[in-house]
Amino acid sequence: MLLLAVVMQPKDILRFAYILEKEGDAYRAITEYKRFLYYKPDADSIRYRIVYLYTREGLYGNAIDVMRTVIRKDSLYKETMGFLFYRAGIYDSVYTYWKDKKIGLIDLQKGKFREGLKKLGMKDISPPGMKSPVAGAFLSAIVPGLGRIYAGRVGDGVYTLLTIASTSYFAYSFYRENKNPGAYIFAGLSLFFYAGDIFGSYIAANMHNNMVKEKFIQRIEREVF
């Protein structure tokens, strides 16, 4: 097997790499493509194959490193580098390569929906509806669980309300019966759950916003790319 690897010609290496890629063995295919580049260092098309495989695996840093070795720095190179930095979340570097309306995607990622849609030429599309984390926390401070319901987590909100109501009820019952230790324990639990609900409602609103934002951007990306 070792002897076979030594005597393989570049065209055989390339053919083997194609087979590995077709079989879904991305990492071994990348190894063979890189070995082919040792014999054909000017083969930018093979570099793009490697970049594609790294991108498919979510290894954007590796893909960027390979792109930096591309010989021909043409429009395809700039588009690809911008895309890779965008996917990697390194938005400041995207501006170096993208000069067209696609930079509006960066505004969307930063939550500047109206600015981003304007740059993308999609002013007719409405920005996604977002929830205020502060409003969610405030609602739960008034009525336990209400902030979670506001964030779209109805089941959690109802469960939280029942939990706090039940512990508060037991605290009051023990207090009326002069069973102070039990009253203190359940009062402490009720306050703990109450404070946790306020904080949890703030987090729930943020999670809702992140989910809505991600789905919205994915929709826009399908139209841009």
pLDDT at res. 34: 96
pLDDT at res. 180: 86
* Domain 8-99, architecture per CATH: Alpha Horseshoe (1.25)
For 104, phi and psi rounded to 5 degrees?
A: -60, -25
Task: List the one residue out of 57, 2, 48, 47 whose CA is nearest residue 24.
Answer: 57
Low-confidence ranges of the chain (pLDDT < 70): 1-7
Whether residue 159 contacts residue 143, with contact meaning beta carbons closer than 8 Å, is answered with no
pLDDT at res. 2: 45
Whether residue 93 contacts residue 85, with contact meaning beta carbons closer than 8 Å, is answered with yes
pLDDT tens digits for 7-34?
Answer: 678 889 999 999 999 999 999 999 999 9
First to last CA, the chain: 43
pLDDT at res. 171: 93
pLDDT at res. 7: 61
- Dist. CA 62–CA 143, nearest whole Å: 50
pTM of the model: 0.82
pLDDT at res. 6: 55
pLDDT at res. 79: 96
Whether residue 220 contacts residue 120, with contact meaning beta carbons closer than 8 Å, is answered with yes
